[in-house]
Amino acid sequence: MPPESSAPAARPDAAEPAPQHELWPAPFVGPRPVVAELTVPGSKSLTNRYLLLAALADGPCRLRSPLHSRDSRLMVEALRALGARVEEVPGDGGFGPDLLVEPAPWDAAEPVTVECGLAGTVMRFVPPVAALARRPVTFDGDPGARVRPMGPVIDALRALGLRVEDDGRGRLPFTVHGTGGVRGGELEIDATGSSQFVSALLLAGARFDDGLVLRHRSADGSGRGVPSMPHVEMTVEVLRGLGVSVDDSVPDEWRVSPGPVRAFDVTIEQDLSNAGPFLAAAVVTGGRVSVPRWPDRTTQGGDHWKHILPAFGAAVELTDGTFTVTGPDAVTGVDLDLGEAGELAPTVASVCAVAGTPSRLRGIAHLRGHETDRLAALVTEINRLGGDAEETADGLLIRPAPLHGGTFHSYEDHRMATAGAVIGLVVPDVRVENIATTAKTLPEFPRLWAELTGTSRDA
């Protein structure tokens, strides 16, 4: 068994943490280009949106090929706590059963607690739905969740007439005192910290008596927009597909009409963000990786891989539903604005760390409020392996430097763990601390990565 190491504090520094978690020897392929074809489990973003809406729907719903991970399990348990019935049934997906959901009755009165873990979709999406119940609902989560910003959701609920007890923290834990209904109407929030603040309110808006008119205004007057807008576009598209009227024709404004959420039977797209590390493997090794069943059109932020990876010199092709990435002979640095796809930044940064020319990543200041401070974490861990990375006001600068083996800490963050795995493909003796944290959205990662690295052009 390898030695153990702990996850550092939420704000990383260069000090080596004390032992706690198991270390995972990242597979090293050296000069061997990887060649593979694989699919990944369902989208976390879509799974948790559809689960939430199933609890609000006007009849039973079925999710086919959903994600089964810690984040989706936490959403299931949250909805069960609110009274919905969620049942696993056999399906045709390759990564687990389908889910049948009976909507919540919303008439129970006893207090309940929702465990959020580190799932932003649970801690932010569920409170506006809990406001429709007739009971106190307490939200809490992992220690790392207690430092994630929640103020815009809490303030919005209060503005809608709800009583929320948080002892002035603006963070977990807090209690929403549901009254059995929400009047709705006009509401203004500052969503510069996360697109989830917008989605959280839109998802519940159709069930408010007067619907919802939601406007984003940056509190500092800077005019900064909502980051990761594809996630808001995803929310709007999902709602419209279920018969909810949403008008987003005015920038930074959304009008949700009151009305039912139609029952549905839907197949969940695979998670294109989680496909990223496997596609990045083709780039850093000069290999070739194909992902079948890539959607022709999608609102997933992971679709940005089609534009991001060519910037490193890779060739990309989408033919007959299969997305293929062929890596370059030498990886070049990039200058990219990732404001619409911030969740991809850790994987992008891992490729930048092994590139032969400097890189600049922009538009991702909001990553400081994710599962960990991802900007500080990436700088700390890349530099710990001999790299040359620094933070900017809204991103990262990463310059070429000879990397060496060592421990790459995950900070309980699934995307940090997979970033370390990408670097470990071409840097020997990299050990990723707590690879098990990938279970947040991709429990199969270690197995799929082993299969990926066991295939090469020479095989």
Which residues line the annotated binding site for 3-phosphoshikimate? 44-45, 49, 194-196, 228, 343, 370
Length of the chain as a residue count: 459
Query: What CA–CA distance (Å, rounded) separates 29 from 452?
Result: 10
Interaxial angle between packed helices 414-426 and 345-353, expressed in degrees from 0 to 180 and rounded to the nearest 10: 20
Q: Which residue has the tokens 């922009």?
A: 362
DSSP calls for 57-124? BSS-EEEES---SHHHHHHHHHHHHTT-EEEEE--S-TTS-EEEEEPP-----S-EEEE-TT-HHHHH
For residue 429, CA distances in Å to 26, 279, 330, 407 come to 7, 22, 22, 9
> What 8-state DSSP symbol labels residue 42?
B
Active site residue 343: yes
Which residues are within 8 A (CB) of 66 and not within 5 positions of it... i.e. 6 or more apart? 42, 47, 50, 51, 72, 93, 96, 98, 99, 268
Query: What CA–CA distance (Å, rounded) separates 347 from 281?
Result: 10
Tokens coding 184? 């709705």
Q: Quick check: 278 and 419 in contact, CB under 8 A?
A: no
Please state the residue numbers annotated as binding site: 44-45, 49, 120, 148, 194-196, 228, 343, 370, 374, 415, 440
Q: How many CB atoms lie within 10 A of CB 20?
A: 11
Query: What CA–CA distance (Å, rounded) separates 322 from 363?
Result: 30
Tokens coding 63? 């999710």
- Residues 269, 340, 343, 433: which is the catalytic one? 343
> What 8-state DSSP symbol labels residue 206?
T
Please state the residue numbers annotated as binding site for phosphoenolpyruvate: 44, 120, 148, 196, 374, 415, 440
For residue 395, CA distances in Å to 310, 347, 416 come to 20, 14, 16
As annotated, the active-site residues are 343
